[in-house]
Amino acid sequence: MIDPFIIVVSLQYGLLYVLMSLGLTMAYSIARFANFAQGEYVMIGAYVAAFIFNVWHISYLLMIPVAGLVGSFVAVVSYLVFYRPMMRRGLSSNAIMIGSIGVMLIYEYIIWIFSEIYNNLFAPKFDPKRLPAAVEGVDALYLIIIISIASVVFLAYVYGATSIGRASRAYADNPMLARISGVSETKIMLFMWSVAGFLGGLGGALWGAYASQVTPDMGFNNLLRMFATTILGGMTSFYGTVAAGLIVGFAENMGIYALNQAFGVPTVYKPVIPFAIIIATLLIYPQGLGGISLRNIRILVRSFSTKS
Amino acid sequence: MLKTVNVSKSFGGLKAVNKVSVEVREGGIIGLIGPNGSGKTTLFNVISGVYKPDDGEVWFRGRRIDGLKPHQIYKMGLVRTFQIPRPFYGMSVYENILTAGRDNPGENPLKALIRKLWHDREIKLSDKSIEILKMLNLINNAKLKPYELSGGEVKLLEIARGLVSDPVLLMLDEPVAGVEPGFAHEIFRNIVRLRDEYGITFFIIEHKIDILFNYVEHVYVMDRGRVIFEGDPSSAAKDPEVIRAYIGGEK
Amino acid sequence: MPVLEAVFGVIYSIGTFFVIYALLALSLNLELGYGGISNFGKVAFYAIGAFAVGAIANRIAFMMLGKIFDITQTYNPNIADPFKLAEVNSIITYVNLNRPDIALPSYFISLIAGVLLAGLFGYLASYPALKLRIDYLGITLLVFGEIIRTIGNSYEALVAGPHSMAVVRPFAWITSLGYPAYVADMTFFAFSLLMLIIVYVLLERMLNSPFGRDLKAMRDDELAAMSLGKDLAKLKAYSMIIGSMIAGLAGGIYIAYTGAISASEYIPFITFIVWTIVLLGGAGNNNGALLGALIWIGLDRILRIIKDAFPALPFSVDLLRYLLTGVFIVLIIIYRPAGILPEKEIKTVAWRRLEKEIKAEGGEE
């Protein structure tokens, strides 16, 4: 009945979404704005990995952590050059979000222009649409599973047990109080951005391995699915994002498969599923998965019965 | 005119307002006092529709208003001001006050296109606004933006908006905090005059009890969410519960 | 005279694009600058206007010719049939050049329908605008725009999806009467300019009023506005309906200008362009919207000149437009979020009363 291939695909997408979106959740929870450039950390990591692999033929396996480091670097630079000045000017969360759209455009098109220049001036061309399918014989699936689970566990440890992790959580709860208790805001930010970018870059390189292609617009293309994950997860909830990533991956792939088989819905409508998740979550239960608690469910049920 | 019956409101586990019943008779100037955190502003919020009470009822002019939205309650004639002023920072003082005026046909976008439809109302509104500006000594600052005013002046702007809105009942939340005493007395004298001339009822939260008690005929005292005393001001000043609430509460 | 032709050609192309972007900017300025509504889905309402003209005008034209409008495979309305599409394109071209009796009513009826349809969707969008926080609202409307684009692209029976389909143009037939091409072009430009002037005048009138004050009050402090009797649901609905209608109008004009429709064009980047224009020119000021549009058009022209002057560049100059937009956004947000022109004060007859009063006071002292 259900093609096992679909389950594998869903799992891969789901885990990739988790990796890519954790950075978005962290940024919202600690820096308090929706970072549109998160998709670009993914894309740049993927691009650099693919580029080095394609042009200098260094092992792709090695490129995966390199992609993470590149993503980390880009995220930290973005903070220092763009976001910190914005935050220092006391701009609202919405204004910084708009600024992040500008940052997103800058990164996407710098890479695009660079890749066109390279292909026009050098040979052999870097054709990112034709990356080798398997990664050194190891199936991309196992890589994705291992790396994403390891990352989630690592992140849980870092933010749960280390001192900077605890300080970051305190800062996320109440920035003013944390600052007064002597926590260094800059350290927390630098740490958060480097981790967010690292995870994004990892996700990008793995995506490249799985999809066998990287494009400059893969950042924005994935961004809305990353938003679906973070929003469904509850914008600031770590475990919520992890669960939501898998849900979005499965809903998207198994969902369109089911709709296609049952109602003949063409597969081109696949992107609408994450869109629907975003709208439904924000309008019906904006706290997302992270906001699930007995009390909230009671309040939700009550709001249906008493019209206010 | 205004009556709350056993109104309660909790936040998280904290009962901010606990079975509070108050009554404000028509034409009265009623006070509401209590130490910080006693729930006075929360009660105002419940009455004006910002919060829905968990329990109890709120009645205004014979109609039940708990659960209605703030703008609906405003339309019935109940207007409140905020303890920490909430001016519209993008507009001048004068426009802030004009905005508070009610029933202006120009508020409808289609009618706004035809100036004749709202010209008269706008003139009347502007005359009243200017009169209030003069009364509160704000006329020279009328063109300034709220962030260019001093703290006390912003408070006065808050009151001005309440006054221009033709209220039946005006609920003021700490109207003279940050205002120097001589002028505070003048404001209260104006409040009495407005009640005498226009029949506006007032329900006033205030910390400066020494000033307030000269002008209210009835006062409610709240402490930790409950009403612990109601009566005339001089009895309130002597009541042991009230004294304990204040001495015990404030360190 | 070739010089005259060239001048008219430039006026037509630059001028019409200015009108289109000015309309979009005015529409966003109403929603954002006055109403405080963060509409990141502006392109959706632009697209709805465009789709309406594309889908409806062609169908009306066919109906009037007694033909059946069919561009998709017989059993699959999701995929266009290239032969049927080519036939439709040639019939529409024929109508455009030779049948003003069909072209004019088809276009204008569908334009009105598009404006109303966009307004209807604007009304629907005001519900999330009421319920959601400002940054969540932005994401929701952005997603809404992407849904519209996906449907337009995937359900090809509507407007042939990403394939280019010819659409009815209202004034192309003038050329068949023997006049040089620029006469038809300038007629269309005059029409679009007239639309812009009407919208601008109506907006200024409508916003320099108690309604404008109420919008700004809602923008500045929703709680205080509510407590002073402002019905936020109604105000947001008014903003979104009127703003979306203007955006739909811009879409209908754009379609007639290009003469063809392709659903893949309506990408979020268009929304970002409009935001850049409004923020750059100064939110809360309709003249700022016009100024921003002018600057944008100027920039676009410069890029085009660079493209023609340096054909040997190793990359596509079109990409620069996107890059520069990003740079602009970042610079504006960091250095001048209020934009070039300051917010326009609302000065009704009440203002003159105040001035008189202050002068009188000054005289007495």
Note the pLDDT tens digit of each residue in B128-163.
Answer: 999 999 988 888 889 999 999 988 889 999 999 999
CA A99 to chain centre: 18
Q: How far apart are CA B157 and CA C224, in angstroms?
A: 13
At C72 the pLDDT is 84
Task: Tell me which range, A43-57, A165-179, B187-201, C73-87, is most confidently predicted by mean pLDDT.
Answer: B187-201
Chain C environment of A116 (Cβ under 8 Å): 314-316, 319
Query: Strand C76-80 relative to strand C260-261: parallel, antiparallel, unpaired?
Result: unpaired
Q: Return the exposure string of A145-174: e unless at least 16 CB atoms fall within 10 Å of the residue's CB, then b.
A: eebbeebbeebeeebeeeebbebbbbbbee
Contact (Cβ atoms closer than 8 angstroms) between residue A15 and residue A194: no
Contact (Cβ atoms closer than 8 angstroms) between residue C129 and residue C232: no
Q: Look at the block and give the residue holding tokens 């919208």.
A: C199
> How much is the average pLDDT of B86-91?
94
CB atoms within 10 A of CB B168: 17
> A161 — contact with chain C (CB < 8 Å)?
no
- B157-171, C9-23, C67-81, C180-194: least confidently modelled range: C67-81
| Share of chain B residues as helix, strand and coil, in percent rounded to the nearest 5 | 40, 25, 35
At A132 the pLDDT is 58
Q: How far apart are CA C20 and CA A123, in angstroms?
A: 43
B220 to chain C, minimum CA–CA distance in Å?
24
Q: How far apart are CA C254 and CA C47, in angstroms?
A: 10
Which one of C210, C220, C223 has the shortest CB-CB distance to B106? C210
- pLDDT, one tens digit per residue, over C298-344 is 999 999 888 888 887 888 888 999 999 999 999 999 999 999 999 99
At C314 the pLDDT is 81
What single-letter amino acid sits at A106?
Answer: I
A65 to chain C, minimum CA–CA distance in Å?
28
The predicted complex's ipTM stands at 0.91
Contact (Cβ atoms closer than 8 angstroms) between residue A164 and residue A191: yes
Contact (CB<8Å) C228/B161? yes
Q: Is B15 left (phi over 0), alpha (psi -120 to 50) or beta?
A: beta
- The pLDDT confidence band at residue A297, using thresholds 50, 70 and 90, is low
Q: How far apart are CA B65 and CA C132, in angstroms?
A: 25
- The pLDDT confidence band at residue C278, using thresholds 50, 70 and 90, is very high
> A108 — contact with chain C (CB < 8 Å)?
yes
Structure tokens at A123: 């040979």
Quick check: C358 pLDDT over 90? no
Contact (CB<8Å) A94/C38? yes
CA A20 to chain centre: 2
More confident residue, B190 or C359: B190
At B37 the pLDDT is 83
Quick check: A102 pLDDT over 90? yes
At B251 the pLDDT is 41
Q: How far apart are CA A287 and CA A296, in angstroms?
A: 9
Structure tokens at A290: 């992270």
Which one of C128, C132, C325 has the shortest CB-CB distance to A105? C325
Q: How far apart are CA C229 and CA B73, in angstroms?
A: 8
Element (H, E) at C219: helix C210-220
- pLDDT, one tens digit per residue, over C246-259 is 999 999 999 999 99
At A308 the pLDDT is 41
Q: Taking the alpha carbons of A105, A111, A116, A120 in that order, is the dihedral positive or negative?
A: positive
Q: How far apart are CA C275 and CA C29, in angstroms?
A: 9
Q: How far apart are CA C236 and CA A308, in angstroms?
A: 19
- pLDDT, one tens digit per residue, over C94-133 is 999 998 999 999 999 999 999 999 999 999 999 999 999 8
Structure tokens at B150: 């001093």
CA–CA distances in Å: residue A241 to residues A55, A288, B185: 35, 9, 58
More confident residue, C112 or A177: C112
At C57 the pLDDT is 94
More confident residue, C134 or C213: C213
> How much is the average pLDDT of A41-63?
85
CA–CA distances in Å: residue C58 to residues C119, C120, C174: 21, 22, 19
CA–CA distances in Å: residue C356 to residues B140, C352, C360: 13, 6, 6
Q: Partners of C261 in the beta sheet?
A: C165
> How much is the average pLDDT of A293-300?
67
At B3 the pLDDT is 87
C205 to chain B, minimum CA–CA distance in Å?
6
Contact (CB<8Å) C326/A98? no
Quick check: A134 pLDDT over 60? no
- The pLDDT confidence band at residue A230, using thresholds 50, 70 and 90, is very high
Q: How far apart are CA C183 and CA C190, in angstroms?
A: 10
- The pLDDT confidence band at residue C217, using thresholds 50, 70 and 90, is very high
* CATH classification number, B1-77+167-251, choose in 3.90.580.10, 3.30.428.10, 3.40.50.740, 3.40.50.300: 3.40.50.300
- The pLDDT confidence band at residue A24, using thresholds 50, 70 and 90, is very high
At C272 the pLDDT is 96
Quick check: A59 pLDDT over 90? no
C263 to chain B, minimum CA–CA distance in Å?
33
Q: What does the mean pLDDT of chain B come to? A: 90
Structure tokens at B152: 């006390």
- pLDDT, one tens digit per residue, over A82-98 is 999 999 999 999 999 99
At C160 the pLDDT is 87
Chains contacting C (3+ CB pairs below 8 angstroms): A, B
Which one of C140, C323, C325 has the shortest CB-CB distance to A278? C140
Interface of B with C in 152-211 (CB under 8 A): 161, 165
Q: Where are the domains of chain B?
A: 1-77+167-251, 87-166
Which one of B99, B101, B109 has the shortest CB-CB distance to C242? B109
Catalogue the E-assigned strands of chain C: 72-73, 76-80, 165-166, 260-261
Chain A environment of C135 (Cβ under 8 Å): 33-34, 93-94, 97
At C127 the pLDDT is 93
What are C's interface residues with B at a Cβ cutoff of 8 A? 202, 205-207, 209-214, 216-217, 219-221, 223-232, 238, 242, 284, 343, 345-346, 348-351, 353-354, 357-358, 361
Q: How far apart are CA C313 and CA C309, in angstroms?
A: 10
Quick check: C234 pLDDT over 90? yes
Chains contacting B (3+ CB pairs below 8 angstroms): C
Chains contacting A (3+ CB pairs below 8 angstroms): C
Contact (CB<8Å) B139/C353? no
Question: Which residue in chain C is spatially nearest to A93 when comparing CA positions?
Answer: C135
Quick check: A41 pLDDT over 90? yes
DSSP state of B176: T
SS3 of residue B63 by DSSP: strand
CA A178 to chain centre: 27
- pLDDT, one tens digit per residue, over B173-182 is 999 887 888 8
> How much is the average pLDDT of C274-301?
95
Structure tokens at C228: 């002073």
Contact (CB<8Å) C132/A282? yes
Angle at C160 between CA C260 and CA C95, to 5 degrees: 45
Chain A environment of C316 (Cβ under 8 Å): 116
Chain A environment of C322 (Cβ under 8 Å): 105, 108-109, 112
At A305 the pLDDT is 59
Quick check: A231 pLDDT over 50? yes
What single-letter amino acid sits at A218?
Answer: M
Contact (CB<8Å) C216/B143? no
> B44 — contact with chain C (CB < 8 Å)?
no
Using a 10 angstrom Cβ sphere, with 0-12 exposed, 13-18 middle and 19 or more buried, the burial of residue C4 is exposed
Structure tokens at A206: 């793995």
SS3 of residue A124 by DSSP: coil
- pLDDT, one tens digit per residue, over C15-34 is 999 999 999 999 999 999 99
Quick check: A52 pLDDT over 80? yes
Which one of C214, C224, C242 has the shortest CB-CB distance to B107? C214
Quick check: A175 pLDDT over 70? yes
Task: Tell me which range, B208-212, C3-7, C16-20, is most confidently predicted by mean pLDDT.
Answer: C16-20
Chain C environment of A283 (Cβ under 8 Å): 128, 131-132, 140
* CATH classification number, A4-305, choose in 1.10.10, 2.60.120, 3.40.1000, 1.10.3470: 1.10.3470
Q: Going by C-beta distance under 8 Å and a sequence separation of 6 or more, which residues neighbour residue C46?
A: C24, C247, C248, C250, C251, C254, C266, C270
Contact (CB<8Å) C211/B50? no
Contact (Cβ atoms closer than 8 angstroms) between residue C256 and residue A89: no
> A117 — contact with chain C (CB < 8 Å)?
yes
A244 to chain C, minimum CA–CA distance in Å?
17
Q: How far apart are CA C289 and CA C293, in angstroms?
A: 6
pTM of the model: 0.92
Q: How far apart are CA A272 and CA A278, in angstroms?
A: 10
Q: Going by C-beta distance under 8 Å and a sequence separation of 6 or more, which residues neighbour residue A174?
A: none
Q: CB-side exposure of C242: number of CA atoms within 13 Å?
A: 24
Structure tokens at B238: 């002597």
